[in-house]
Structure 1
Amino acid sequence: MHDEAARPTATLRARDAVAIAVGIVVGAGIFRTPAIVAGLSGSEADMLWLWLIGGGLSVVGALCYAELAAAWPGAGGDYGYLVRAYGRRAGFVYAWARLAVIQTGSVALLAFIVGDYAAAVAGGPSAAWAAGTVMLLTAINVAGVRAGTRTQALLTLAEVAGLVLVVIAGLILAPEAVAAVPRVTDTQWGAAMVLVLLTYGGWNETVYVTGELRGKRKRIVGVLLASLGVVTLLYLLVNLAFLRGLGLSGIAASDAPAADLLGRALGSAGSAAIAVAVAVAALTSANATMFTGARSSWAWGRDVQKLAWLGRWDGVRGTPGNALLVQGGVSLLLVGAGALVRDGFALAVDYTAPVFWLFFLGVGIALFVLRRREPDTPRPFRVPLYPVLPALFCASNAWLLWSSLAYVKTGAVVGVAVLGAGIILSFILQPSKESSP
């Protein structure tokens, strides 16, 4: 049933939220970005420092988000914080961007990764497998919150198992790489850190389930820190495995370092295993992205009268059913477009990055705005070392936004144009002043 008064209830355990966070962050990126980062690193030590610093900066951001999530729990996540700090029009444009660019674009890209590997193994068009992936995951999440979280837990376990296999292959099974002549080039910290932080990206999606998390509001802090702790440890171990099995130069020269590493350790069986691991990683991230993305669309529908149908919560299944269906439909449209224009991973990053970092920066600034505007609001958790850590978070986001726009490409132009369309649409649909995020 779609009860107008139905709202999210506290049905998620901490481990469900951790599985969602880890599942989103540990996507297919960790299987491909280490090669690029290695090419930008002057030494093995610098490469490891990049991944460690990336984890540290992510923790800083998580502490900022934890304060906001504990003070204002709800399924709207970033949408709610932006509305409270800047008004409903800013929230409208953000929700539009998530539905038209950020979440659905990520789902489509991840579905194509699954499709590519499924087509290689079983045959058939990659686009057909991708479309089937979107429809299957949408159906699972529409079926109910337990179906979605159970699927996520199983996929996350399989995903982590794939990374553990890479670690074992590199640290134990594969012969150690022959030491190469040390490089004389300097580490390109800026360009490398952009890629590292993109690979860590997605941890903030956890705040979209705060309103459904059992226990005290402050529990979100532990969920975020535990998730990033697991991810940082896995990323460091994976890169250590790559370094031992392939060496810095070998990683930089490889288009698929994980496949090359497992090929050295296990032969042809290793190549098949890594294909499955990449597909599972993409599937895991796609499911978690769908789960959290529909929550912001639900909150959007509650605040805009003409989108009220989007803000209906299925009280029986515990899901934002209409929002999930619309999100799945938009993702399918993007899959169809991708079948015609397959420019790959780089185009998707160009399309989403400027929009993503713009709103990430907006949330960081919102922490300062709300501290000043609503000083008496109970905050079960406060960012330590305020205002230093929030300022560091904002500075890093501003730098990444500039980096994503420094060399304007077609994808970035299209992403910004779609954002502009959302601004125009916000005046047409006139977001209401009632309702709270």
Structure 2
Amino acid sequence: MKKDSRGKPRRIFNNFNAIAVIIGIVIGIGIFRLPSMVAQNAASELHYLSFWIAGGIISIIGALCYAELASAKPDAGGEYFFLTKAFGPGTGFLFSWGRMTVIQTGSITLAAFILGDYASVIYDLGTYSSSIYAGITVVGLTALNIIGTGPSKNIQTAMTSIIVVVLLLAGLAGVLTGFSAEPVQAASDSGVTTSAGAAMIFVLLTYGGWNEGVYLSAEIKDVRKNISRVLLLSLATITVLYVLINSAYLQLLGLETLRNSDTIGVSLSNKIIGSGGSFAMAVLIVISALSTANATIITGARTNYALGRDFPLLKFIGQWNHANNTPVNALLLQGFIAFGLVILGGFTEEAVSTMVDYTAPVFWFFIFLTTLSLFVFRRNPNYKLSFRVPLYPLTPLLFMTVCLYLLYSSVVFTGWGALVGILILLLGLPVYYFAQNR
């Protein structure tokens, strides 16, 4: 048999490495900003904490569905591979196009801009300080991944370990300190309009990114046995950390302060370690943003590689560098698009908000379709299962209902960025037909 000159992924990720990538994507900057928006829609402290517990449960339900898909059909293309096999190459191409131009590149840019905001607190580079830091982040992390998957995953593991340890210590310190601290201001219900639906939008956005684990399925050792463990252990860890850190927010700051603060992470660190908390928190959030951006770059390039592998028009990104075990051309294209979004974001007043709007509708649409593919595969008598989602079909149906609600919310309650993201996704249709004609 002739060897494929383009190369293929090697199985170099153990469970710990894969868990580090997933946690690195999920536990990013959201936990330091979005809890205030959740608190604005909570009637009480118990109500507030129940949202975070519910978010973990919903995410675990989704992970169970994805674990069955990834264990039955492991591939570097992840969701692209599932959608192509279930609904045909057109759907798979449109997903990869949307992921390459909207979902993944928008998420990388979002993390880079938040890094830029907090890095500017440490050292300001002038008017375009955030954009400069964001551009350096995209270029630097893309270069790191081109050097090789080995160095990238090792640095990812180190950054994720730092974040988990710091959050764990901060949560425990916050809860323990709260017992001896002065009572916090009681929450006032006057003028507060609570909405569980609105709260869950922000909660699930904070939990978002766990699905990226399936893009490592071609590189995880003994994937059919381990992918379910990787996804479930990742989300169990994340849920515990989120409930712990939010308990610390309540214990030290109180629900009323949470509702009215945009810098709750800084407020918490100031309560625990004093006036030096602002600098310490800025450093932690920079590390968190680096971790999120790097993990997103790792998984995003895998989809681009799978797209180029299957479509001759884009075959230049379907090459795998065997020596470095990395898709170099796919990384370069992804970095180029993300850098372009950084330039675009530099001319908007709310770059972070624009990137959230830009990615959300496309993201939830394809999460819904991927879960739907489970029903298509179950009808195939040759569909071999090493892991079965519990309580099928109720489990995937419940998760799909959540996806549809979030898709609706992300279109109705967001700004012009959402329309731009949808338009760029639809531009993939003529590109697909051109590729087919070629």
Q: TM-score band, normalised by the shorter chain? A: over 0.9
1:11 aligns with 12
SS, match of residue 9 in structure 2? coil
Relative to structure 1, the CA distance from residue 58 to residue 208 in structure 2 (aligned partners, 3 Å threshold; closer, same or farther) is same
Deviating more after overlay: 304-313 vs 171-180: 171-180
Query: How far apart in 1 are the matches of 2:339 and 2:183?
Result: 43
SS, match of residue 224 in structure 2? coil
Relative to structure 1, the CA distance from residue 187 to residue 317 in structure 2 (aligned partners, 3 Å threshold; closer, same or farther) is same
Aligned runs of 1:82-231 on 2, under 5 Å?
82-124=83-125, 125-173=129-177, 175-180=181-186, 183=189, 187-231=194-238
1:276 paired residue among 283, 292, 311: 283
2:427 paired residue among 421, 425, 435: 421
* 1:238 equivalent in alignment to 2:242: no
* 1:379 equivalent in alignment to 2:380: no
What displacement does 1:388 show?
Answer: 0.5
Query: How far apart in 2 are the matches of 1:181 and 1:321?
Result: 52
| Aligned pairs, number | 430
CA offsets per residue over residues 123-153 of structure 1, 9 Å max, x none? 3122222111111111111111111100100
2:26 aligns with 25
1:351 aligns with 358
1:35 aligns with 36
CA offsets per residue over residues 39-94 of structure 1, 9 Å max, x none? 11001001111000110000000000000000000100000010011110111111
Query: How far apart in 1 are the matches of 2:223 and 2:80?
Result: 22
Cα pair 2:113 2:352 within 8 Å, conserved: no
1:303 aligns with 310
Cα pair 2:217 2:223 within 8 Å, conserved: no
SS, match of residue 276 in structure 2? helix
1:435 aligns with none
Structure 1 length normalisation: TM-score? 0.95
Cα pair 1:3 1:315 within 8 Å, conserved: no
* 1:394 equivalent in alignment to 2:400: yes
2:49 aligns with 48
Query: How far apart in 2 are the matches of 1:402 and 1:313?
Result: 38
Query: How far apart in 2 are the matches of 1:131 and 1:405?
Result: 28
Percent sequence identity is 44
SS, match of residue 382 in structure 1? coil
Query: How far apart in 2 are the matches of 1:375 and 1:353?
Result: 35
SS, match of residue 211 in structure 1? coil
What displacement does 1:299 show?
Answer: 0.2
What displacement does 1:118 show?
Answer: 2.1
Query: How far apart in 2 are the matches of 1:405 and 1:118?
Result: 31
Q: Aligned AA for 2:163?
A: E
Query: How far apart in 1 are the matches of 2:267 and 2:53?
Result: 24
Deviating more after overlay: 287-296 vs 185-194: 185-194
Structure 2 length normalisation: TM-score? 0.95
Cα pair 2:77 2:302 within 8 Å, conserved: yes
What displacement does 1:182 show?
Answer: 5.4
Query: How far apart in 2 are the matches of 1:67 and 1:130?
Result: 36
Cα pair 2:188 2:256 within 8 Å, conserved: no
